[in-house]
């Protein structure tokens, strides 16, 4: 809710170009954040869920993950410093990128994977609320003109720092987590186990943040601002699924092994009801796209209406991707199949984004994102359909022809 309050304010105060610069800087440092995450939001969650009743194993897992993250953050700091001095786009907006990089540090050490694995979703909600409230409050106080994009980035970083410090405090005092000395070979071995998920997470960026990056390079910050306004609405729709599927993921990590039939039947019901919900939402947004853009961002963003209508089915595709890919394939250990789908979709998206963006700017970027998400749906369903068929045919609740 709070981002929906902040977003219209930022888009109006910063203007199309200023908001575009703010978003583009976030995309650039976001790549570094993906590296530091190393896919632990999935693999770490799964492993913590399995080990949560074993304190010694839990401490060892947390230690391995933190040591890997520290090493990756140091590497990212080196690359970021090189970019500050060698890349003209970053040099020209030095202060903006410095302030944006704080989010990478904060998110690197925010242990969302730990709380998800422990099924402590209350802590996640509270900490995110604190971070967003801090950001929202200060943004309204200190951001007042188009040149204040770096201040907005700084407030975002500070909010992230605060929630991360509180999260680590909860881990230490509530869960008694202590870092252990781990042999470096064990750390390397654990890192190798997560390599496929890490690569898969990088591939996901090939049809999300990379689109914005290509658009910014080819068409400038103005086009980024117009596209991002529409994409924010699409992402907000897609985020409605997150609380439910976040709760579901760690539980299915064990239930798909021990109670597979019941778990698949539950997922099939979610597919039916979730698809109906997102189809209704897509129709509503398509019809009222003009009013939504005007109310949310102002008349300056009228060119965001067509990209919004083009991407209106993306939330449905993202929902289905989560069910077929994350909930089924990853929880069943089918990491390679998951990676294959993302690799194909990512490669397609880069090619399509470059071609379509050159021809149609933000409209072309919207088309490449839509087609890429569709490819992911088809691929994830292809690899997961055998499990859906095998474990639901008995109950006659789901038949795939």
pLDDT at residue 65 in the model: 93
Q: What is the separation, in whole angstroms, between the first and last Cα of the chain?
A: 41
Q: Which residues lie closer than 8 Å to 186 by C-beta, 6 or more apart?
A: 64
What's the whole-number mean pLDDT along residues 331-357? 86
Q: Which residue is associated with the tokens 């080196």? A: 78
Decide if 200 contacts 206 (C-beta within 8 A). Answer: no
- Per residue in 20-71, pLDDT (tens digit) is 999 999 988 988 888 898 888 878 888 898 888 888 899 999 999 999 999 9
Cα–Cα distance, 376 to 373 (Å, whole number): 5
**pTM over cut 0.85:** no
pLDDT tens across 314-343, in order?
999 999 998 888 888 877 778 788 888 888
CA-to-CA distance for 115 and 113, rounded, in angstroms? 6
pLDDT, residue 394, reads 45
* Mean pLDDT, all residues of the chain: 86
Backbone φ, ψ for residue 397 (5° rounding)? -100, -15
Residue 348, burial from CB neighbour count under 10 angstroms (0-12, 13-18, 19+): middle
Q: Residue 398: which pLDDT band, with cuts at 50, 70 and 90?
A: very low
pLDDT at position 399 over 80: no
Q: What span, in angstroms and rounded, lies between the C-alpha atoms of 133 and 146?
A: 22
Per-residue pLDDT, 206: 57
pLDDT at 315: 94
* CA–CA separation, 172 and 389 (whole Å): 44
Low-confidence winner among 309-318, 322-331, 365-374, 386-395 (lowest mean pLDDT):
386-395
DSSP characters over 10-44: HHHHHHHHHHHHHHHHHHHHHHHHHHHHTTHHHHH
- The answer for residues whose C-beta is within 8 angstroms of residue 264's C-beta and 6 or more apart is 256, 328, 387, 388, 391, 392
CB 220 within 8 A of CB 264: no
Q: Check residue 181 and give left, alpha or beta (phi > 0: left; psi -120 to 50: alpha).
A: beta
Q: What is the pLDDT of residues 163-172, one digit of tens each?
A: 999 999 999 9
Q: What is the pLDDT of residue 203?
A: 65
What is the spatial distance between Cα 345 and Cα 321, in angstroms, rounded to a whole number? 12
């Amino acid at each position: 809710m709070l981002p929906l309050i902040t977003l219209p304010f930022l888009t109006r105060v910063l203007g199309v170009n200023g908001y575009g610069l703010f978003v583009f800087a976030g995309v650039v440092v976001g790549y570094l954040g993906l590296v530091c995450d190393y896919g632990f939001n999935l693999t770490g969650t799964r492993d913590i869920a399995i080990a949560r009743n074993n304190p010694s194993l839990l401490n060892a897992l947390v230690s391995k993950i933190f040591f890997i993250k520290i090493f990756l953050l140091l590497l990212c700091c080196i690359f970021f410093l090189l970019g500050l001095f060698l890349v003209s786009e970053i040099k020209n907006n030095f202060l903006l990128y410095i302030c944006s990089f704080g989010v990478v540090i904060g998110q690197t050490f925010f242990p969302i994977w730990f709380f998800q694995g422990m099924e402590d979703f209350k802590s996640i909600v509270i900490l995110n609320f604190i971070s967003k409230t801090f950001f929202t409050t200060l943004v309204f106080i200190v951001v007042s003109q188009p040149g204040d994009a770096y201040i907005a980035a700084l407030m975002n970083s500070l909010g992230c720092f605060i929630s991360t410090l509180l999260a680590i405090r909860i881990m230490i005092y509530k869960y008694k987590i202590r870092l252990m000395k781990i042999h470096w070979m064990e750390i390397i071995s654990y890192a190798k186990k997560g390599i496929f998920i890490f690569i898969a997470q990088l591939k996901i960026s090939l049809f999300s943040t990379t689109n914005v990056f290509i658009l910014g390079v080819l068409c400038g910050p103005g086009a980024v601002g117009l596209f991002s306004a529409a994409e924010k609405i699409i992402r907000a729709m897609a985020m409605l699924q997150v609380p439910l599927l976040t709760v579901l993921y760690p539980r299915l990590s064990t239930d798909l092994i021990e109670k597979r039939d019941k778990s698949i039947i539950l997922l099939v019901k979610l597919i039916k009801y979730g698809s109906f919900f997102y189809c209704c939402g897509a129709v509503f947004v398509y019809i009222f796209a003009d009013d939504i853009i005007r109310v949310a961002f102002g008349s300056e963003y009228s060119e965001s209406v067509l990209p919004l209508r083009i991407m209106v089915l993306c939330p449905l595709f993202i929902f289905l991707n989560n069910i077929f890919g994350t909930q089924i394939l990853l929880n069943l250990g089918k990491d390679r199949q998951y990676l294959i789908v993302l690799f194909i979709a990512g490669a397609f998206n880069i090619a399509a984004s470059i071609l379509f963006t050159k021809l149609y700017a933000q409209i072309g970027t919207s088309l490449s994102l839509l087609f890429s998400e569709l490819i992911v749906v088809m691929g994830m369903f292809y690899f997961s359909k055998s499990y859906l068929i095998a474990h639901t045919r008995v109950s006659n609740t789901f038949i795939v022809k």
